[in-house]
Amino acid sequence: MQHIIDRFISYVTIDTESDPNSETTPSTKKQWDLANKLVDELKAIGLSDVSIDENAYIMATLPSNVDHAVPTIGFISHFDTSPDFTGANIKPQIVKDYDGKDIILNATENIVLSPDYFEDLLMYKGQTLITTDGTTLLGADDKAGITEIVTAMEHLINHPEIKHGTIKVGFTPDEEIGRGAHKFDVEKFGADWAYTMDGSQVGELEYENFNAAGAKITVKGKIVHPGYAKGKMINSMYYASEFINSLPRTETPEHTEGYEGFFHLHNIEGDVEKTMLQYIIRDHDKDKFEARKALMQKIVDDLNTKYESEVFKLELKDQYFNMKEKVEPVMQIVDIAEAAMKAVGIAPLIKAIRGGTDGSQLSYMGLPCPNIFAGGHNFHGRYEYVPVESMQKAVEVIVKIAELTAVSSEQ
């Protein structure tokens, strides 16, 4: 267990925050720091064909150790962290034998991780937790996944008695800003299917995710001296609030769960002359997803008609789609993962992702790619934590998937 802790901490203490406003890949130079470390580590544990391209996409191979044909499978994680909350100067804290009570993350700032608010903590009573110090995120999304993949490959190399086919490893930049799979070379990767290790609580197994789009609404105003503004000033911020209030108030992330979609206003910038609203649009159902985009356009059109001017401008961009369509024809890959979990004593929690992963895009690029738990909770913020036992179980699942794929191919 200490080996996993040490590896994980060595990753999360390297700042790899991505930047949605950058046009480069990776979007931040500091992502190279961990990328280059991972290349060295993959070589050191004995993987073959270790490579990193000009965009920091890492690939490596564990050759088959059986003499019969086995499908080539892959395991993929991303090494960037979310720009939603700082990932610089992370100081992980180790909580051994968690007692089920409040965890003081930062006494000076009175930041507390409490099971009264985060009930999932009680699932891990008696286990070892890794938390933040309350001032940064942790980076378990998705450095827990990387830790698990590297550790599983190391275990398979050190235990040749465990039979497996060819296994591919892939690590990507910029997943947190929706670009993780954009420059992923599926043909070079060479897997028949893969799994992203990018889920949350232990047992999660997902092959459905949101359809996703981004929307930017630009609202034009007109600045006039406020003392002489009657009938002349157009305050774009008031007009923007009218757009906001035209969307269903309860169809937002804080009011929805399960398969319910939403509109999420995540950024506002504005003054009298110009206000910009940025939304993400999410829905598992394709028809409802299209209806959400159409509703935004209708509101813009209606408001422009009301004010007899092109006050509102909408820009919509699809981001990714529900992988279910691509995975269902090859459901045996989900069945193998489910069987692997059961074999190592985990009750599979098959559910839809209220988000997306590299796997959703990769599935549409020809690499079916369900998602498996990495163990972390409360991603993208100061209350993020990961149980070490969950990471250990994820390692066991990876190893068992490799073994079951080889065994099933022999029969």
Delimit the domains of the chain by residue range.
2-209+322-410, 211-320
Contact predicate 42/169, CB 8 Å = yes
Contact predicate 289/280, CB 8 Å = no
Q: Which of 15, 148, 154, 175 is catalytic?
A: 175
198 is in an annotated binding site: yes
284 is in an annotated binding site: no
pLDDT digits (tens, 9 = 90+) for 267-302: 999 999 999 999 999 999 999 999 999 999 999 999
Q: Is 351 left (phi over 0), alpha (psi -120 to 50) or beta?
A: beta
Is 133 assigned a catalytic role? no
pLDDT digits (tens, 9 = 90+) for 337-371: 999 999 999 999 998 888 877 888 999 999 999 99
176 is in an annotated binding site: yes
Q: What is the pLDDT of residue 290?
A: 97
pTM of the shown model: 0.88
d(CA 338, CA 203) in angstroms, rounded, equals: 9
The pLDDT-based confidence of 411 (bands split at 50, 70, 90) is: low
d(CA 36, CA 31) in angstroms, rounded, equals: 9
* Higher-pLDDT residue of 409, 130: 130
Is 17 assigned a catalytic role? no
For a pLDDT cut of 70, what percent of the chain falls above it? Answer: 99
**Kind and range of the H or E run holding 390:** helix 388-410
78 is in an annotated binding site: yes
The pLDDT-based confidence of 410 (bands split at 50, 70, 90) is: low
From the candidate CATH numbers 3.40.630.10, 3.90.110.10, 2.40.50.140, 2.40.30.10, the one assigned to the domain spanning 2-209+322-410: 3.40.630.10
pLDDT at 228 over 90: no
pLDDT digits (tens, 9 = 90+) for 140-169: 999 999 999 999 999 999 999 999 999 999
Q: Which of 17, 80, 154, 283 is catalytic?
A: 80
The hierarchical CATH code for the domain 211-320 is 3.30.70.360
| 185-206 average pLDDT score | 96
Residues 6+ apart with CB under 8 A from 363: 323, 326, 327, 369
Q: What is the pLDDT of residue 255?
A: 97
